[in-house]
Structure formats: C-alpha cells, structure tokens
Structure 1
Amino acid sequence: MSIPVIDFGAYSLDGKEVPEEPMHNLSRQFKAAFTEVGFLFLKNTGITQKEMNRVLDVSQEFFQLPDELKRPFSWTIIDNCSHGWVFPEEERLNPLRPPDLKESFNIGRFQPDIEWPPVSEFREILTSFFHRSKELGLRVLTVMAHSLDLDPEVFLSAHRFVGTNKNLSVLRTLYYPPVNRESVNEHQLRCGEHSDFGTISLLFQNNEGLQVRARSGEYIDVPVTPGAILINIADLMQRWTNDQFTSAPHRVLLPPAGDSNTRQSVVLFLNPDHEALITCLDGSNKYPPVTGQDYLMERIRGSFDEY
C-alpha cells in the first residue's frame, strides 16, 4: 500500500471555483484514497513550505522555553474549546501503552481573554495558520461531498463555527524531544497507535517517524513530501459515511537507537460544531446519532489520565 499524492492546484487557496471536469477528477481520486487507504497527500494547496516552516520555527521557540515559563499556559478546555500547552507525557493516545513522548500547544479559539506565550509572533503566526488550514479543510470537505454525490452543505453546514466556542476543532503544534533509550518505559512510543476523533485531519510534518496501518494490518512508513499536506479521515467521518470512508490507525515510532533527532509536526483537527448532529448519510441506523460535542468530549477524556 502507498499513500496517493493528489494535485490540488485546481482548488487551491489561490483559486476560486472549480470547473466541472477538474472537480470530477479530484472527487474520483479522493473517493478511491479515502475508501481504500484513509489517507492522501495533497500538493499545490496554496499553503507553502515557507508558511509551514514559519509555524515550526516559532513553535520551536516556545518548546525550548523552560517548563516553568510554559506551565502558566497549560492546556485546558476553556469555554468549550481546547487551548494551551500539553506537557510531556500528559497524553496517551493508546490507553494500553505508557504516555506519549511528546508535548504540544493547542489553539482552538481566539477571544481577547485568551492568554498566549511570550514568544515573538507566536500568536500571529499560529492564528493565521489556523485560519488558512481551516479554509483548506473546508475545500477538502467540499470535494469529499462531491465524491459521494452529496450537496457540499451537508458537511459545510456542520463546520460553521470552527475557531469559536461552538466548535472543538484545534490546531496542534507538536514537539517530540530527543529520546533517551535508558529512560523509556517498555512499549512506550512517541505517539501510540490511534485513530483521530473528528471529521478530517490535516498534517504538516518535517521528518519521518509516522506510520499508517494498511488494510492488511501491516504498518507502513509515511514519507516526508516537502510542501505536501497529509489528509486523513477521522472516526466521526467514518461513522458519518457508514464506513464508506476509512479512518486508519497510525502512530509515531521511537527513533532508531543512537538517533538524537527531534521531530515536529502541526495538525489541524477539523471537527463538527458542538450542536451538529451526526447521523449515517445513507439513512441507516448502523451508528446512533451523536452530537459533535458529546462524541469529541468522550474521546478527549479517554486520552488524558487526569481529565
């Protein structure tokens, strides 16, 4: 299995409407990728490698701060939105493994009362990137709807409040520090096997380590493709499409012994609005109706030991 690479130039953030033929081609490729693999790479999206690098660079400045300077910005669910620093080994995405060897900063809302770390341009760069990624994600949802012969409003109307306290979408900038093999617990990974929670995820990464599970059960390495964005189906979208689109488990391995490299990535987890009612699009009752907020809060609680 390999992850398809799809040219999104016809519907990039630099453009407007898509003519019928390019939309048909995109829809066909999306449907094949999301039913067979659950992941795809998008290139020529309008988000450049330079933009990604700015986010990674300013994030690195934050992660290099002493913990005592980061702790005042610790993660919490504020006003129904996720915001703040998730400290190292606070989260375990696979409950059967020890906590993940990573830290992150979550951005999910932009009200004036939100406090931001004292890192130059941190707020401005991450806020801009959140909104750019959101707009790209909505375009992806539009193509996904076309691929299923649906009115795009079926998906778009459930994501009207992204970036507000009526939605739990979150941009996470992640840092995986160097690994000391002598202090690693048995079965511990940088990020344990899991599938994402909500609608779709948009991943920007700068080095290898991510693996995706194929239908065969085998994990395959995800290459780093400069300038390309990795898009994957999340669990709520799989429910929504009655398993037509597949949410594939993935993980981040430990680096090879003697490798002291760090890893960084940025992910937009695009999720439905709190009050959006998710029901099977084919009219079946395979999965019971659930609101975006109820489903996501249950999954988030399962990832944090003390939440």
Structure 2
Amino acid sequence: MVMIPVIDFHLFTSSDATDRQTVVQQIYQACHQIGFMYLKNTNISNDLIHQVLKQSKDFFDLPLTVKQQLAWTDEFSNQGYVGFERERLNPNNPGDLKEAFNIGKQKLTDIDVTDKLSSPAKNPHILNFYQACTELANNVLQAIALALKLPEDFFATNHNQQNHTLRLLHYPSLSQPPKLRQVRAGEHSDYGSITLLFQDEVGGLEVRTASGKWIAAAPTPDTIVVNTGDLMERWTNHVFCSTKHRVMIQNDDTLNQSRYSVAFFCHPNDDTEIVCLESCQRDKSPIYPPILAGEYLLSRLQATY
C-alpha cells in the first residue's frame, strides 16, 4: 500500500553530507511515487502556525458584508476574499463548500488593502508566516534541485520574485445536506511548483495514488504537508507527479465542525520558461511544449472561476 512518507527535514539543513543526501533521496522518492510528503522539524514553529490559524478564524468569523469589502476581483491579481461556493476546483461539481482569502507578497504592503483593519494581510503574524514559508520553500526547492542533479540554487533562483500566494481556508460546518457531488474542495491538482499545507485537527484531505485509489492525508502532529504541482510535473517531464487531491465531507462528528487550513502556493517567476529539464528527458521526448510560468497560472485561474 502506498503511504505518504514522513521526512525529517532538519537533517537536510544540518551540515552532515550523508544526512543531507538521505533527505534528498527521500524527497525524490516521495515526489516521484506519490507527489506528497509530510515534513517534520522545519523552521516554522507550531506557535506561529497556531497564531495564523487563529487569525484566519477571526477573519472568517466576521460578517459577510465586511469580508466582501475585500472581495477577490480578477485572476490577474488573484487576491482577496473568495466567498462560499464561488470556486469550483472540479468544474464538473457544484461550488466548493469553502471560503478563502488569498494574499500575495504585493498585498502585504498594498495600502489599499492593508488600510482595512479587517484584512488578514495587515496582521504581523501573517507577514512573519509568509516570510517563514518562503524560507522553507526555498530550502525544499534546493533539495529538489539536488534530487534532480541540478545546481542547488536552480529552482530557488527561478522563484526569487516571490510570486507566491498564501491562502487562508475555511470549510464551515454543515447544517444541511450538500448538493449532489458537492464536496469541500473538488478534485484538483495545484498549479505551481510546490505547495506547503498546514492543517488543523479536522481531517478530510485525500490524495489519489497512481493506481487511482484515494488515501487520507490525515492531520499529523508537528508536520507540514508538501506536494508537487503542475509546473514541477511539466519541468520534470512527469518524473515528479502533480497529484490530484480533494477535501471530502466526512460522515462523522467533523460534519458539524469547521475545518481550517492554510496553503502556501509556490510559483516560479512569471517570466520563467518551464521547459523539460535535460536530466528528465531520458528515453522519452518532452511531453509538453515550453510555457511561461505566469501564462500557465493565469490560464488555470481563468478556468477555476
């Protein structure tokens, strides 16, 4: 049975070459076989994660009229509040049973948004968290580069404009039955290179294995979920996989509980050309034509809303 591996990331940031190489190999296997892993012993403290989850809850508890003042407007900025059922990650299903708030680096200093006291982008914990996630993402990207026999800074350099999106997510408790085929987050793959995901204790995340079986990516104490996205799959010619995942409505006590999570979506610089890496061609030709990272992200966002 395929399992999502737990990797001690502290061993990669240590000075021991053998430990580092062990982690590099573990990350290669995780990205190649299932596209998901749990990392423990990272630079992000549980205290900071709890603070961000609390700030997220405080924001989503605000009246809808207040949240709508910060509404998401278009795929070009991809910032702001996304209302309940507004998004359909699986276009064949009804709207997802969730609400979200997207924050990009530019919005952390954007006076139009941060002047509004209700905006999470104004909160210092959110700013600290964004910076900590950026640091962790760069370290993971360094490990991935080594796993693919590339210069260690290859991916980090192509992400140095920090075009990342921090997404606060709230899946409300359900007081009435959902519509047919309606779930908390429809089946989808992520659009960028890698994603860092922070979950509360309420489960529901599921990952589809290569054999087509859905397995739980259950909340695991003191770990962060990391998965590879579409652009990493394209870069690596499917050596690494962008795995479909979803958030389901569980038929237990969690039906009456809100679920909170925070996703940090890592995107390459908009002008980075995503072209098959030479080390990933092997015996097969490139599967995809080259595409600019910014163009790909825009096309996926336009299809989602």
TM-score if structure 1 supplies the norm length? Answer: 0.91
Partner of 2:270: 274
Please identify which structure carries the higher helix content.
Answer: 2
Query: What is residue 37 of structure 1 aligned with on the other side?
Result: 34
1:113 counterpart = 2:108:
no
Alpha-carbon separation, structure 2, partners of 1:112 and 1:293: 21
After TM superposition, the structure 1 = structure 2 runs for residues 126-145 of structure 1, keeping only pairs within 5 Å, are 126-145=126-145
Contact map agreement 2:43 2:132 (CA 8 A) in 1: no
**Range with bigger deviation, 249-258 or 28-37:** 249-258
Structure 1 vs Structure 2 CA RMSD? 1.7
Q: Kindly provide the amino acid, as one letter, of the partner of residue 261 in structure 1.
A: Q
Q: Distance in 2 between matches of 1:11 and 1:23?
A: 4
Q: Shift of residue 153 of structure 1? A: 2.7
Q: What's the secondary structure of 2:182's corresponding residue?
A: coil
The residue that corresponds to 1:300 in the other structure is 301
Correspondent of 1:189 among 172, 183, 207? 183
How much identity, in percent, do the aligned residues show? 38
Q: How many residues align?
A: 293
1:262 is the counterpart of 2:261: no
Moved more, 258-267 or 54-63: 258-267
- The structure 1 segments of at least 4 consecutive aligned residues displaced by more than 3 Å after TM superposition are 119-122
**1:61 touches 1:119 (CA, 8 Å); kept in 2?**
no
Contact 1:199 1:272 in 2 (8 A): yes
Q: Does 1:54 align with 2:34?
A: no
- Compare 246-255 and 3-12 and name the one that shifted more: 3-12
| In structure 1, C-alpha distance between the alignment counterparts of 2:173 and 2:181, rounded to whole Å | 17
Could you tell me which residue of structure 2 aligns to residue 224 of structure 1?
219
Give the Cα–Cα distance (whole angstroms) in 1 for the partners of residues 73 and 160 of structure 2: 23
Distance in 2 separating the partners of 1:181 and 1:254: 12
Q: How many angstroms does 1:44 deviate by? A: 0.2
SS of residue paired to 1:42: strand
**What is the CA deviation profile of residues 112-132 of structure 1, one whole-angstrom value per residue up to 9, with x for unaligned ones?**
424135249752111111111
Q: Distance in 1 between matches of 2:74 and 2:153?
A: 28
**Equivalent residues of 1:179, 1:255 under 8 A apart:** no
Change (3 A) 1:142 1:281: same
2-side partners of 1:288 and 1:243: how far apart? 13
Pick from 174, 188, 195 the counterpart of residue 201 of structure 1. Answer: 195
Question: 2:148 maps to which residue?
Answer: 148
Residue deviations 1:106-162, cap 9 Å, x none? 110233424135249752111111111011001000000111111123211210100
Equivalent position SS for 1:47: coil
Partner deviation per Cα, 1:50-82 (whole Å, 9 max, x = no partner) = 11110010110100000001111011348x543
Q: 5 Å matches for 1:59-98?
A: 59-77=56-74, 80-98=76-94
Structure 1 counterpart of 2:194, one-letter code: I
Match of 2:6 in 1: 5
Asked whether the 8 Å contact 1:34–1:233 carries over to 2, the reply is yes
In structure 2, stretches of 5+ residues that fail to align are none
Give yes or no for contact 2:12–2:24 (8 Å, CA) kept in 1: no
Distance in 2 between residues matched to 1:234 and 1:98, nearest whole Å: 24
Normalising by structure 2, what TM-score?
Answer: 0.91
- List runs of 5+ in structure 1 lacking aligned partners: none
Residue identity matched to 1:265: S
Please state whether the residue corresponding to 1:41 is helix, strand or coil: strand
Partner deviation per Cα, 1:258-283 (whole Å, 9 max, x = no partner): 63011000000001111111100026
Distance across 2 between alignment mates of 1:186 and 1:145: 43
Please state whether the residue corresponding to 1:131 is helix, strand or coil: helix
Partner amino acid, structure 2, of 1:175: H
